[in-house]
Amino acid sequence: MEKKRAKFDPESAFKSIVGLNDSIEEETKEETPQEKKVGRPRLSQERKKTVAITVYPSSYNDLKKIAYVDRQSASEVIGNLIEQYIKENEEKLIEYDKIKGQ
């Protein structure tokens, strides 16, 4: 059995490059009301942001040891510390909003 190869059509290739087939593609998209979405569904909660911070290696090693004892990750410990710091300084956030006019 021989495999059939798709034949190259230079006219349709040209139209796809130039954009003349856009109307045809739009019509086919309209015909399929719901497309399958690949991947995990988006969460409604806030997503975490990856940031780089600079810390002394000895401090970070001690942080990891403490986190291990508490059965947490270093990231969780840092996140908890940041939340606590924000709660303790809410008046500064209000002052910031007043300064920036928000």
pLDDT at 44: 83
pTM above 0.75, yes or no: no
15 against 67, higher pLDDT: 67
pLDDT at 14: 75
Dihedral of the alpha carbons of 51, 57, 59, 64, in degrees to the nearest 10: 70
How far apart, in whole angstroms, are the C-alpha atoms of residue 49 and residue 2? 52
Burial group, residue 60, by CB count within 10 angstroms (0-12, 13-18, 19+):
middle
pLDDT per position as a tens digit, 16-71: 777 765 555 555 555 555 677 788 887 788 888 999 999 999 999 999 999 999 99
CB distance 80 to 70 below 8 Å: no
61 against 14, higher pLDDT: 61
Residues 6+ apart with CB under 8 A from 77: 63, 66, 67, 70
